[in-house]
Amino acid sequence: MSAKEWTDELKAQVVADYEAAGPTAENTMEIVADLAEKYEKTRNGVRMILTKKGVYVKKTVAKASTSTDTGDKPKRVNKAEAIANLKKVIGDAGKDVDDDICDRLTGKAAVYIAGLLG
């Protein structure tokens, strides 16, 4: 069937099957994969048909944060700000700041060390 084009009937059947499966943000990709296999089409092709018909439920993706998280591991950070903060924490502790070493750290490492010292 993969050699056949997308007919109006096939599009309607894929949309009906997708809606009948009860798509959610958590299971939408699995449903698309199952339909692609069932109709011998690509996942992208099935997703495109569903999107054009306005029924595709998009999977939610967590946005990357530009600040640190209060959890166990930091999220994406601004390196320059993190290193400047670390230098301030070291200076506030009355210690000498080695700019060469601090400037070689990653932003996450700077946040981690500042957290330990602060």
For the segment 42-47, the average pLDDT, to the nearest whole number, is 93
Sketch the domain layout of the chain as residue ranges. 8-52, 62-118
**pLDDT > 90 fraction of the chain, expressed in percent and rounded:** 43
Residue 97 corresponds to which tokens in the numbers above?
């700041």
Checking phi first, is residue 63 left (phi over 0); if not, alpha (psi -120 to 50) or beta? beta
Most confident range (mean pLDDT) of 35-44, 53-62, 85-94, 96-105 is 35-44
Question: What average pLDDT does range 38-42 have in this prediction?
Answer: 94
Q: Does 11 have pLDDT greater than 90?
A: yes
The answer to whether the pTM exceeds 0.85 is no
pLDDT value of residue 88: 87
- What gap in Å lies between CA 100 and CA 48, rounded to an integer? 51
Distance CA 10, CA 32 (A): 14
- Computed over every residue of the chain, the mean pLDDT equals 84
Q: Read off the pLDDT of each residue in 27-44 and give the average, rounded to a whole number.
A: 94
pLDDT one-digit tens code per residue, 54-81: 999 887 765 555 554 555 654 677 888 8
